[in-house]
Structure 1
Amino acid sequence: MAVNASNGSFSAQSRLYRLDGEGAMSSLQVEGWVAREGLSELGEMRVVALADNAALDLNDMVSRPATLWTTRADGSETGRSGVVRAAEMLGGNAGMARYRVTLAPWLWLATQRRDNRIYENQPVLEIVRHVLDGYEGYTYKVSAEVEHHLADLPARSYTTQYRETDYAFLSRLLAESGLGWTTVEDEAAPARHAVLIFADSRSLAEDAESAGAGVRFQRAHATESRDGVQALARRRRRGVERVTVLAWHESGKHAISGQALAGPANASGDDGAGLEWFEPLGHGSLLNQAHAQFQATLLMEAVQASAETFLGRGNVRTFRSGTRFTLQDMSPLGPAGESGFEPVFALDRLEHAGVNNLPGQADASMAAKLGALDDFLCFEDDEACEATDDNVRDHDDALIGVGRPEAAVLARAHEVGYANRFRAVRCDRPWRALPAGARGARLVGAPSAVGVHTAIVTNAEGATEASGEDEIYRNARGDVRVRFHWQADGDGLAKSRWARVAQRQAGAGMGMSFVPRIGQEVLVRFLDEDIDQPLVVGALYNGRGEGGIPSTPGGKSGEAMNTEVFAAATDGKPSAQANLASGNAPAWHGAAGGDEQHRNAAALSGFKSKEFGGDGYNQIVFDDSDGQLRMQIKSTQSASELNLGHLIHQSGNYRGNVRGVGAELRTDAFGALRGGGGVLLTTYTAGASEPAGDAAAPLALAGQADLMAQSFDGVVGAHQGVRLAAARGTTAAGASRLDGERAPLAAMTHAVSGTVAGDAVGGAAGDASAKHTEVVDGKVPHLTDPLVLMAGRAGLTQAAGRNVQVTAGELVHWSSGQDHNLAVIGSLRVHTGQALGIVAGVQKGGAESGLDLIAGTGEVDVISQHDVLTMQAQQDLRMVSANAGIEYASPKRIRIANAAGASIVIEGGNITVTAPGRIDVKTGNKQFAGPTQMPYPFPQFTVCKSCVLDAQESVQSITDKA
């Protein structure tokens, strides 16, 4: 290739530099170039070139691989390859044009792609390979020592790339793992170079100039036969003595820490003693103790690598980042007597400047026509550099590769054709990238997950729809798997990930439990804003229900909504509960508040669950409709529910017709009401401020029943009747099973009048056990025994469709203040194991009759099958038959007597009449007949005597003899 100048010609042959590229780049002649590079940094090389064609196709240059060949002192060539990132036409004049092409490692392409990916349970090297394999046609290599370096590092439970470029993602992964990368020439690679990932900088390749005898420490002069280093400064910084990292291990519920101490080579004397780098990391950042120690060691190695650096200038044309070299004759830089120091260095950061050896006339001509070359020998972030002499300053470290090459470097490049400035580290220590951008939760800066995100709950396979009854998928800790909306799909990527679920309250065996179900959209935050630590904090509705209010975007009339679907609701049938879009719509809403719709002005709130794989549900509803406050606890299982307040029908979002006011407890299945310390059922009201156990009215009624029973018991005793056990006692005189010191009714009255301590459960239980009834401050009403106390202010009705059974293990006592009626359509049977006492007329003796036994049809039979049947009255005893006779029959004796001593006795076939005075027999006709026998048939009970005795003994119902 030849470029024609105005007064001559020159070619690429025998030039110091030449650019090897395809297409339009083949027409370019190198005029000058600059480059910057560093370990684990994206470098760039900008080549300024000339051409005799001002219309070269720039698009044809971009994305092509190219190599800048440099002629060494021995005549051989060394190349620097890259991919053309940018191409510019800087200007043209008189048939000449100046171009600039910018080359970068192919890894620069990773800065142009941004992704959102989640990796689960994968080693870091597999993640790196997965990302780099996505760049087809580009080559990367992994150094042999990397596998050994990562051997003890556990697989990463989760690694998330979130809104960051592939390059940023790879950079932090490599830094967290103590890995670095550089570029190496590779003629077989499509891009002519490869990215090399390494773990130990001591294993880097040796620089070509250094191979063998090393690099000379010499002046830069045309008479020198070899390239060398002209200036070198050794810089040491005071470092820390130890590094400590600390993080919380979630599953183990304990802190994990690791510590690394500085080696002797980094000893900083008394001034540095005790200095510590303490790095508290976020939740789950350290997987185990070995991982903590690994991170602490990496951090200490990074500190040691940056604590001692070497800054230099030279003209070694083969120098490039990621190589090592041995420097000759550098003893003046080492302290006297320093042992173990070898002048072997690893090149970290460099900036290069090169000026081609064009003919002098051409050089001057180009400057006149197209401007000075130095104006274009700059980097993309062009800034002026201050240094203009050969001295190496302390701040030069930070300026290497910034803006444009140092003025002294450019000046030396014009003199000898090439110059560089570099930073190197000792090769007897591993190079590690010093963490930058760390923010507490992560050792290496990662994208912050600010604010809240949304995600969909999934099953194990990542499906967002439940299958049958399997609506929940969770682990033992209660975590659920979620899929973020920004999450990418692909081979090797997780379709979902585990996320902790926050509860409103949580404790040992206590708290609330919210389990998001598959398909629900949840709200997610991140601990320490760490993208790898998601935390579900709530759930969201994301559906679109039927009907509703028309939207008015910007005040304009929106699409009319169908409101007729609301009118179809009835007390037993909901309507407008479907979703018009995929997602989940709320159970209750305020979009149908009209009387002809759902009558619900967003008044319903509460909680509603759903049956696995079915339509059943449980719910707690709070209805805040004005003047119609209501609460409902409901399960569709057997229609079991508790309704309080304004009772209405409710079907879904529909508020139906009124059902009443008050409270309702109902179920279609079995129901039970149990109170271990007693149950009070009463219609006597008590103020809202009164104690729960207030039973003043039932207590008064119980006391009246006791007084009535004692009064009747005394009267019955006077008439020699069967005494009342309820007043006298059952187990003993004045005792009962309920209370050994009181008869049953008195014991019950005492139990109802109990009071207990109102400030502590233990004290209340003690007072109830001791049967306290004192009314003092601090005591509240409470049953002393587990009674069921029912009291109806207006009445108490017990009704059964079939049977009513009243059973007591000790006593049944019925009493009424006025009348007591037993009305039986069939038969009335009264069976007693001991005695049956009927006493009447004891309070109203002057009434026409005390006890009436009347049979409307049939006979009145009063029979004693065993022992004596006695009928007695204080005054008259009358037995009258309106239509038939009265018969007395006894197998042994019949005796009719009065209190004065007169009697008639029939016994043993004889009739004996006895009187204290005279006996008058008055008759119209006297006739004495002889003896005769007249058998009398006795009626038989349907139960035999032995059956009665056996049933009485076993306390069972009597069995029919048949």
Structure 2
Amino acid sequence: MLVLPDLLRQDTRLLQLTTPLGAEQLIPECLRGEEAISRPYELTVTAVSPDARIALKSLLGQPVLLQLMTAASRTELRPFHGHVTSARLLGADGGLARHELTIGPWCAFMDMGRDSRVFQDATVFDILDSIFNSWQNPGKLVPQWRYDIAERDIYQKRSLTCQYQESNLAFAERLMLEEGLFYWFEHGADGHTMVIADHNGAFQPNAQATVRFSQPGAVMREDSIDRWRNELRWTAGGVELGSWDYRSNDTRRVGAASALAAPGAPSLRDAPGAYAYTSREHGQRIADRQLEAIEAGREIFTGAGTVRTLSPGTTFALQDHALLDAAPDSERTFIVTRVLHLAHNNLAAEVRSVLERTLGVNALAERIAMEQGRSLHAVGTGIAERPLYRNRIDAIRSNVPYRSSTTDGHGVVLRPKPTVRGQQTAVVVGPPGAVVHTDRDHRIKVQFHWQRGEQSHSRLTHPAPDGHTGAPGDDQAGTWVRIATPMAPVAGTNWGAVAVPRIGSEVLVDFLDGDIDRPVVIGSLYNGSGATDAQNNQVAGGAGVATGNAPAWFPGEGGGHAHPATLSGLKSQALQASQSGTGAFSQLVFDDTPAEPRLALQRHARAHEGTDELNLGHLRHQTDNQRLQGAGFGAELKSAHSAALRAGQGLLMTTNARNNASGHQLDSGEASAQVEQSAELAQSMADLAQKHNAKLKDEPAPEKLSAVTGLNKSIEVLGATGGAGGGDGETGGAGQATAFSEPHLQLSSPSGIAATTPANAVVAAGSTSTVTAGQDLNFAAQANANYQLKDGISLFTYGKASATGKPNQETGLRLHAASGRVSVQSQSDVTKVTADKLVTVASIGRSISISAKEHVMLTAQGAYLKLEGGNIMIHGPGTMVFKASMKELGGPASALPTLPGLPKAENIDNAVELNFHYEDLVPVAHAPYKITFADGTSRSGTLDAKGYALVSNVPPGDYHVEYGEEPVPWLPPALEPDPELERARASKERVAALIEEARRKQEKGTSA
């Protein structure tokens, strides 16, 4: 009964605890607490309560205030504010109970649970704010934080930062370590604040800014440090980093050398992964921060004493130390980095005895006593009473930049970035309504299945949606992600495979070095459930923007679908029909059906319509997945549209086979031999014709005829060879091969060539067309056959039958007209009909009329009959016999012959050239014209842009030309200033000004 009144008073206690239960409900017995920079503090307190029925859950998460009386006065209390993270009942007897409470900062609760989310284009401060804000209202937590940053602008936006299956605290601490930030806590009676800083200037002097060094156990009026030692460690001589940056195609190397390390100390070399920093400046800052962390751990000072105000993030100056007093202030001022508090409350001995008998030995008190006696906290040998408060501190000199270490001193990373093991799948996303979303370098954006938000694949929203990307299902879902070339594993400068996964597609994502922030798409996946014996998917779409994607070709069950997945290849689809499959598409199909291999390259302007195809092998019709009826074997090129076959250095089309892939590409030996035979035939026949006088005026020798030289030219072109000296040129590798010397088109076939059309056929040549035949040459037409020649025509036949067995060896030349007239004219020269033997002119049904403008003469064997000048003259060297049953000689009479009119060659193919210009020779463009000819006819038209026109086939004689106005209004040309004229005008103005000035002076003098 004497214990409780004394126990429940806290106003004079060294340790005072305030909880929501009231000031008298929990009385501290002892404290073991640890604080450190960049680490949540942890205070373990045992407390005695007069109520053994306190519900532990009423304490969890509650804000509490533990105060430590300082040396300044009984009212100067050092606050430790926090939240109860654990509570347990250690023992109870009657009305007394002992509890153990663990107190930590508000961020300690952030270490509970795991989360995954994506932050895009955000600074480290944006991300930290988002994380901390998400803990604003759960329970009694009131997160408070502030920044003390030297240069905030140097912290660039991070393109992609993923929190992946890690707690919020682990994620926040990892980011701060990566960026060289550190934190500690400032305590007040009503809360505690996390201070995040990046420079030593953020550390404030301790409440006891100067601390004396004293002997252990010495009685001092102020708190002091009585143990002090330093530890010097061997550290790396520098930091060297190298990170591959795929955007600049360069390994960005940065480094920082230490001026404090021992000579010869090796550098710490590390490859932090791909694209670890955005620029060399950013990488240099990271290297500098890592070196500062190494140098901060090079020399550590450890002390012990009774200074109750010491806390991490504060500085103090050590006084009265023999080794430090002579040093400058910077050498004896230290930053506290860690504090271990060991305290017993100032309970009377009688009270402690009663508590020990009633509740048993306090295990925490025993641990504290052991640490105080066996460690650096020992107080010496002259003190019998246990000390109420001792602490141990770690410190560094204040002139050494502080940076938290990323490792534990043994190479183990304290807050490692989560490593992704294996691959993940994701869904391609993009702007609403788009089918494909990519940048210049064919990067895409994806949304992972673990992202939560409005358009998430899990259909779950994030409890704290602000500040991070979430799962919007559009191009805001993440950063640009590279894709591996899907059609062929190759990518180069303006070459390689290209195929961009479309929005809604499921892709396979790998991570460089397992880094969650470095995703790479390595392939696309089929998903959903394909329809039976049909295209498309039974699952059209899924959660978010995911689409169902079934294979285009598959093993079916019935009809044309019944094949064991023998089709493989590539198939594209028009953007507007990505899911419906009703639009245009292209495909490359490999059909590996046993004994029926096929290769098809096809383009469909619409679904199954307007096809352009190249089919090789066993030809077979195909509709989507269906293998339909066969169509032959070999090669087929067809198009529902226009087609062109172009070869800039020659084209050979032949049915002459080359077995076993022998011969060269343009090997046309058979065609060349055929052309040689034709050339020999043409020359020999021309020689015979000329010998038989079938020669035109000025016709060259047979070997120089254009037909013969053209055939010889073809022989030369077909027989040429070509080669190259190396394999890296455009013409191919080394060696010689048949190669046309000119862009020649050669058609040849050993069995025949047929060219047919139900419409018109045109064969045109700018020089000479030669048609030769080893046997017969046949021309047939159901209507007219017209031959127009400008110079002359020679028809010659040798006249002998090639077959000796024919009864009639006389062949020759026959011109027959079964109906209609036969007209033979020499419109500007003579006509000769000559025969070695008989010439017969006969009219079977009517008469024969021989007419001449001047005279007609018939002669044979010296006798002749001549009609000339209205007279008939008959002469003969022998007898003239006139026989008739009746002879009648009448008076004179005459008959004038009707001669056909013949055109004159000089009146054929006349043309008129028109050139219409202004006086300055500028053409009158597009002006209309009218030409009136002497025969009354006229021709009209329009000049071209140069004021020119050529009018062909006009009548002979004079003509008159009329021109109209130019359709475009005439605009005068811009006038350019003449420098000489401008100078003359300026000179004239100056002279006029001088004359005016002289006149005024004269008038002024006159008036005076």
- Taking structure 2 as the reference length, the TM-score comes to 0.78
C-alpha contact (below 8 Å) 1:33/1:353 kept by paired residues: yes
Task: Say yes or no: does 1:753 pair with 2:719.
Answer: yes
Matching of residues 679-828 of structure 1 within 5 Å: 679-690=651-662, 691-722=664-695, 734=704, 743-757=709-723, 779-828=736-785
The aligned residue for residue 507 of structure 2 is: 522
Gaps in structure 1 of 5+ consecutive residues = 393-405, 548-564, 567-574, 768-776
Task: Say yes or no: does 1:435 pair with 2:410.
Answer: no
Deviation at 1:451, TM superposition (A): 2.5
Task: Say yes or no: does 1:417 pair with 2:388.
Answer: yes
Deviation at 1:370, TM superposition (A): 4.3
Instruction: Give the SS at the match of 1:298.
Output: helix
Matching of residues 446-485 of structure 1 within 5 Å: 446-459=417-430, 461=431, 463=432, 467=433, 470-485=434-449
C-alpha contact (below 8 Å) 2:107/2:169 kept by paired residues: yes
Greater mean alpha carbon deviation, residues 472-481 or residues 136-145: 136-145
The aligned residue for residue 556 of structure 1 is: none
Give the distance between the partners of 1:763 and 1:126, measured in 2 at CA: 56
Give the distance between the partners of 1:895 and 1:844, measured in 2 at CA: 37
Q: Deviations over 1:743-800 (max 9, x none)?
A: 1112212322333337758999899xxxxxxxxx954333232211111333212122
CA separation of 1:15/1:443 partners in 2, compared to 1, >3 Å: closer, same or farther?
A: closer
Task: Say yes or no: does 1:347 pair with 2:325.
Answer: no
CA separation of 1:327/1:922 partners in 2, compared to 1, >3 Å: closer, same or farther?
A: farther
C-alpha contact (below 8 Å) 2:537/2:548 kept by paired residues: no
The aligned residue for residue 598 of structure 2 is: 630
Identity %: 26
Give the distance between the partners of 1:725 and 1:613, measured in 2 at CA: 70
Deviation at 1:38, TM superposition (A): 1.0
Deviation at 1:829, TM superposition (A): 0.9
Task: Say yes or no: does 1:502 pair with 2:487.
Answer: no
The aligned residue for residue 821 of structure 2 is: 859
Deviation at 1:501, TM superposition (A): 2.7
Give the distance between the partners of 1:412 and 1:43, measured in 2 at CA: 30
Deviation at 1:897, TM superposition (A): 8.0
The aligned residue for residue 108 of structure 2 is: 108
Give the distance between the partners of 2:496 and 2:294, measured in 1 at CA: 46
Q: CA RMSD in A?
A: 4.1
Residue identity opposite 1:801 in structure 2: P
C-alpha contact (below 8 Å) 1:355/1:413 kept by paired residues: no
Q: Deviations over 1:289-342 (max 9, x none)?
A: 4323322322222222111111122222233222222222123368xx655644
Instruction: Give the SS at the match of 2:131.
Output: helix
Give the distance between the partners of 1:766 and 1:30, measured in 2 at CA: 92
Instruction: Give the SS at the match of 2:648.
Output: coil
Task: Say yes or no: does 1:175 pair with 2:177.
Answer: yes
Deviation at 1:16, TM superposition (A): 2.6
C-alpha contact (below 8 Å) 1:16/1:357 kept by paired residues: yes
CA separation of 1:885/1:933 partners in 2, compared to 1, >3 Å: closer, same or farther?
A: closer
The aligned residue for residue 16 of structure 1 is: 14
Give the distance between the partners of 1:800 and 1:51, measured in 2 at CA: 114
Deviation at 1:687, TM superposition (A): 1.6
Instruction: Give the SS at the match of 2:162.
Output: strand
CA separation of 1:43/1:890 partners in 2, compared to 1, >3 Å: closer, same or farther?
A: farther
CA separation of 1:37/1:912 partners in 2, compared to 1, >3 Å: closer, same or farther?
A: farther
Task: Say yes or no: does 1:938 pair with 2:895.
Answer: no
Give the distance between the partners of 1:314 and 1:610, measured in 2 at CA: 78
Q: Deviations over 1:382-410 (max 9, x none)?
A: xx9999634x5xxxxxxxxxxxxx8999x
Deviation at 1:889, TM superposition (A): 4.8
Give the distance between the partners of 1:413 and 1:727, measured in 2 at CA: 142
Greater mean alpha carbon deviation, residues 905-914 or residues 65-74: 905-914
The aligned residue for residue 27 of structure 1 is: 25
Give the distance between the partners of 2:2 and 2:195, measured in 1 at CA: 37
Instruction: Give the SS at the match of 2:282.
Output: helix
The aligned residue for residue 88 of structure 2 is: 88
Instruction: Give the SS at the match of 2:742.
Output: coil
Instruction: Give the SS at the match of 1:662.
Output: strand
C-alpha contact (below 8 Å) 1:545/1:578 kept by paired residues: yes
Q: Deviations over 1:588-638 (max 9, x none)?
A: 23231x452524422222222222325212222222122222222222235
Greater mean alpha carbon deviation, residues 486-495 or residues 855-864: 486-495
Give the distance between the partners of 2:125 and 2:728, measured in 1 at CA: 64
C-alpha contact (below 8 Å) 2:588/2:600 kept by paired residues: yes
The aligned residue for residue 959 of structure 2 is: none
CA separation of 1:808/1:755 partners in 2, compared to 1, >3 Å: closer, same or farther?
A: same
Deviation at 1:171, TM superposition (A): 0.9
1:660 to 605, 623, 632: 632
Give the distance between the partners of 1:918 and 1:536, measured in 2 at CA: 117
Gaps in structure 2 of 5+ consecutive residues = 454-464, 470-476, 578-582, 803-807, 913-949, 957-1008
C-alpha contact (below 8 Å) 2:146/2:194 kept by paired residues: no
Deviation at 1:30, TM superposition (A): 2.0
The aligned residue for residue 987 of structure 2 is: none
Deviation at 1:417, TM superposition (A): 1.8
Q: Which has the higher contact order (CA 8 A, sep 6+)?
A: 1
Matching of residues 96-135 of structure 1 within 5 Å: 96-135=96-135
Task: Say yes or no: does 1:70 pair with 2:68.
Answer: yes
C-alpha contact (below 8 Å) 1:248/1:286 kept by paired residues: no
Deviation at 1:113, TM superposition (A): 4.1
CA separation of 1:412/1:630 partners in 2, compared to 1, >3 Å: closer, same or farther?
A: farther
1:216 to 174, 189, 212: 212
C-alpha contact (below 8 Å) 1:140/1:196 kept by paired residues: no
- Taking structure 1 as the reference length, the TM-score comes to 0.81
Greater mean alpha carbon deviation, residues 932-941 or residues 431-440: 431-440
Give the distance between the partners of 1:651 and 1:149, measured in 2 at CA: 66
Residue identity opposite 1:754 in structure 2: A
Instruction: Give the SS at the match of 1:56.
Output: coil
CA separation of 1:909/1:640 partners in 2, compared to 1, >3 Å: closer, same or farther?
A: farther
The aligned residue for residue 152 of structure 1 is: 154
CA separation of 1:886/1:711 partners in 2, compared to 1, >3 Å: closer, same or farther?
A: farther
Instruction: Give the SS at the match of 2:134.
Output: coil
CA separation of 1:750/1:911 partners in 2, compared to 1, >3 Å: closer, same or farther?
A: farther
The aligned residue for residue 839 of structure 1 is: 796
CA separation of 1:607/1:412 partners in 2, compared to 1, >3 Å: closer, same or farther?
A: farther
Give the distance between the partners of 1:906 and 1:641, measured in 2 at CA: 77
Residue identity opposite 1:755 in structure 2: T
The aligned residue for residue 47 of structure 2 is: 49
The aligned residue for residue 301 of structure 1 is: 292
C-alpha contact (below 8 Å) 2:536/2:549 kept by paired residues: no
Deviation at 1:64, TM superposition (A): 0.6
Q: Deviations over 1:165-192 (max 9, x none)?
A: 211221122222222111111334xxx2
Greater mean alpha carbon deviation, residues 34-43 or residues 611-620: 611-620
Give the distance between the partners of 1:407 and 1:734, measured in 2 at CA: 125
Give the distance between the partners of 1:57 and 1:357, measured in 2 at CA: 27
C-alpha contact (below 8 Å) 1:302/1:433 kept by paired residues: yes
The aligned residue for residue 884 of structure 1 is: 846
Task: Say yes or no: does 1:947 pair with 2:929.
Answer: no
Q: Deviations over 1:793-819 (max 9, x none)?
A: 332121223211111111111122332
Task: Say yes or no: does 1:357 pair with 2:346.
Answer: yes
Give the distance between the partners of 2:391 and 2:706, measured in 1 at CA: 113
C-alpha contact (below 8 Å) 1:716/1:723 kept by paired residues: no
C-alpha contact (below 8 Å) 2:865/2:874 kept by paired residues: yes
Residue identity opposite 2:758 in structure 1: G
CA separation of 1:854/1:259 partners in 2, compared to 1, >3 Å: closer, same or farther?
A: same
Greater mean alpha carbon deviation, residues 102-111 or residues 793-802: 793-802
Give the distance between the partners of 1:217 and 1:726, measured in 2 at CA: 130
C-alpha contact (below 8 Å) 1:630/1:645 kept by paired residues: yes
The aligned residue for residue 947 of structure 2 is: none
Task: Say yes or no: does 1:868 pair with 2:868.
Answer: no
C-alpha contact (below 8 Å) 2:146/2:193 kept by paired residues: no
Task: Say yes or no: does 1:332 pair with 2:323.
Answer: yes
Instruction: Give the SS at the match of 2:156.
Output: coil
Number of residue equivalences: 871
Instruction: Give the SS at the match of 1:613.
Output: helix
